[in-house]
Structure 1
Amino acid sequence: MSKLLRNVNQRTQMAGENRLELLLFRLQNGQLYGINVFKVKKIIPCPPLTQMPYHHPHVAGVANTMDGSLPILDMLSAIQSGKVDNPRSQQVILCEYNRKMQGFLVDKIENIVNMEWSDIVLPPKGIGSRHYLTSVTRYDGRLVEIIDVEKVISEVTPLPEDMNAQITEDFGELKTSEVPRKVLVVDDSVVARNQIKRCLEKVELDTVLLKDGKQALEHLKTMADEGKKPWEEYLLMISDIEMPEMDGYTLTRQVKQDDRLSELFILMHTSLSGVFNESMVKRVGADNFIAKFDADDLAMAVLDHFRKRTTPAAS
């Protein structure tokens, strides 16, 4: 499997083409799951684990790896489907989310498959709000569940959402501006959407929350069909990259290629790892890019754009 992962960062030609590669794996419950290959750093046999006092029940232990001491999460426990019997018999997927490395215990690695984002859809309605899925798909006739890893991590190690008081004061100085104070937020993770919403509420900005790129593009095109200019309704759009139906790269390119929408400022906000991100942002025409999630970084990126719209450069 390490051989399959060796050329992950050489697969960027799919980015922006609404395609991705999923690493398929199973947990001890037998269900098939998937994770975007771009989030995976490596796969290793579970090393010896050290138990830490007062550790979270979903943390199987801490492992000393070539990447340092990392928490190893029991994914089966985290999604409330049981608990791994023998962690040392498991594989560990080492991933980078929200600027931090962590490992996830999995029972069996299956393979890597090339898919279109349009084949990945939101979970079916009626399964409630307590599930841990961002999306589902099918491969070779089998259901593949894609876990909301950000939700799992936020329950184990919640990210701080406090904001620098100076940033809040700086936003206060712009209260009299006629620039729109509404932000379009597009992200398939309910945790990420709500983090952004709470962050922007602290600086008195309103939000419209959507779950994927297809919804967002339809929303913007409907506005344009009604004769509205999206950049006059929204201060900006904050978009994730990984989303079912239509990814953030494709959404951005579609918006920037439509003359009715192209002036809308797009800030890409993603937990995806890989050095290709910033070059891809430029390639698809996005206006800015930041990694998830830091309340100050997000607020400053929004504030910088707010100021530019309030005091446009002289012609």
Structure 2
Amino acid sequence: MKSVQQEIDERTNLTGSNKFELLLFTLGESANSDRSELFGINVFKIREIVAMPQITTVAGAPAHMLGVVNLRGQVISVIDLPAIVGCVPKTGLNIMLVTEFARSTQAFAVESVEDIVRLDWGQVLSAESSAAGGMVTSIARLDGNSDQSRLVQVLDVETILRNLMPSEGPDVNPDTIGEKIKLRPGTTLLAADDSVVARALIEQGLDAMGIPYIMTKTGKEAWDQLQSIAAAAEAEGKTIHDKISLVLTDLEMPEMDGFTLTRNIKQDPRFKTIPVIIHSSLTGTANEDHVKNVGADAYVAKFVAEELAATIRRVLSN
């Protein structure tokens, strides 16, 4: 039998092989179906799973906010996830998923937890071009690429929280970011993030910093873009360093995650000296250790424009 530490080590080491673990859960029947579809969230975002405790309703709370719970001395907001995605639980809201990411702790009420599955990011496709775009960032194929594979909707928690609790002030304030950041003449920043909301925030921030950029939706798209730019540069008698000054990447992305993208860049003689900043909602010492192991030049948690700007300045100055 594996020890708890062995299981933790094995799980965190998945990041070195473009794999991850997905927690599967149900939210009830949707308006268009009489069956309970499977939804998923990265295990790294889950702090704990508990039976639904007594919830205290809060006066004036936003729609779909059930209230708060006192969990071991911490008061945590509980969000009605089935209501947000348009499902009706058949057996009630039985389970609470306590999540930690993007500098915040919150809980999501769900109907049931089904399983934890280990997948390759290659089994996950972007949902943005489908009707699932919006609250669903990607679709995971549990049984590989077969036509009969069970499908899981991977929720875009960043978008859900942003819609539920919009920022009271501007997300990006040019006055607090500081002076414009100048890249080498003729170069640009290559960015990758699968969340619609995250990309919009990053673009606002980079625009305020005065940084030209190319935005991609997955690690694979960024990797393909980098190779294409390198080939075009070579045809002009130049190198990739005449075109790209910096890579900014998320960690969780369909097809290829940010760990694999970073490792690919740092192991390729053409690209290895290009600075890479990992910009992620997945926080914690385990993830930050892996950032160092794959050779990233810096890590910054989402999303504070001032911190992102300061990190970019520091990495470029090095």
Q: Which TM-score bucket, shorter chain as reference?
A: 0.7 to 0.9
SS in 1 for 2:251: coil
1:236, distance to aligned residue in structure 2 (A): 1.2
Q: TM-score, normalised by structure 1?
A: 0.87
Show CA shifts across 1:32-90 (max 9, x none): 011111111000111111222221102111111126111111112222x1466886x42
What is the CA–CA distance in structure 2 between the aligned matches of 1:93 and 1:137, rounded to whole Å?
20
The 5 A counterparts of 1:1-315 are: 7-8=7-8, 10-29=10-29, 30-66=36-72, 68-79=74-85, 81-82=86-87, 89-123=93-127, 125-127=129-131, 129=133, 131-140=134-143, 141-159=149-167, 161-163=171-173, 165-168=175-178, 170-171=179-180, 178-179=184-185, 182-226=188-232, 227=234, 228-306=238-316, 308=317
Summarize the Cα distance change of 1:17–1:266 in structure 2 as closer, same or farther, 3 Å threshold. same
Q: TM-score, normalised by structure 2?
A: 0.86
What is the CA–CA distance in structure 1 between the aligned matches of 2:263 and 2:174, rounded to whole Å?
33
Query: 2:64 touches 2:79 (CA, 8 Å); kept in 1?
Result: yes
1:274, distance to aligned residue in structure 2 (A): 3.3
Query: Which deviates more from structure 2 when the two are superposed, residues 226-235 or residues 137-146?
Result: 226-235
Write the letter of the residue equivalent to 1:94.
V
Write the letter of the residue equivalent to 2:135.
Y
1:302, distance to aligned residue in structure 2 (A): 1.4
Show CA shifts across 1:100-137 (max 9, x none): 100011101001111101111112734275x3111102
Write the letter of the residue equivalent to 2:161.
I
Write the letter of the residue equivalent to 2:16.
G
Show CA shifts across 1:251-274 (max 9, x none): 111111111111211100111133
Query: 1:49 touches 1:62 (CA, 8 Å); kept in 2?
Result: yes
Query: Percent identity, aligned pairs only?
Result: 33
Query: 1:98 touches 1:271 (CA, 8 Å); kept in 2?
Result: yes
Summarize the Cα distance change of 1:113–1:38 in structure 2 as closer, same or farther, 3 Å threshold. same
Higher relative contact order (CA 8 A, sep 6+): 1
Summarize the Cα distance change of 1:8–1:293 in structure 2 as closer, same or farther, 3 Å threshold. farther
Structure 1 unaligned blocks of 5 or more? 310-315
Query: 1:9 touches 1:274 (CA, 8 Å); kept in 2?
Result: no
Deviation beyond 6 Å, 4+ runs, structure 1: 3-6
Aligned residues: 299
What is the CA–CA distance in structure 2 between the aligned matches of 1:224 and 1:100, rounded to whole Å?
39
Query: 2:96 touches 2:109 (CA, 8 Å); kept in 1?
Result: yes
Query: Which deviates more from structure 2 when the two are superposed, residues 141-150 or residues 120-129?
Result: 120-129
What is the CA–CA distance in structure 2 between the aligned matches of 1:290 and 1:297, rounded to whole Å?
7
What is the CA–CA distance in structure 1 between the aligned matches of 2:89 and 2:114, rounded to whole Å?
18
Summarize the Cα distance change of 1:37–1:67 in structure 2 as closer, same or farther, 3 Å threshold. farther
Structure 2 unaligned blocks of 5 or more? 30-35, 144-148
What is the CA–CA distance in structure 1 between the aligned matches of 2:306 and 2:50, rounded to whole Å?
34
What is the CA–CA distance in structure 1 between the aligned matches of 2:38 and 2:142, rounded to whole Å?
10
**Alignment RMSD, CA only?**
2.5
1:208, distance to aligned residue in structure 2 (A): 1.3
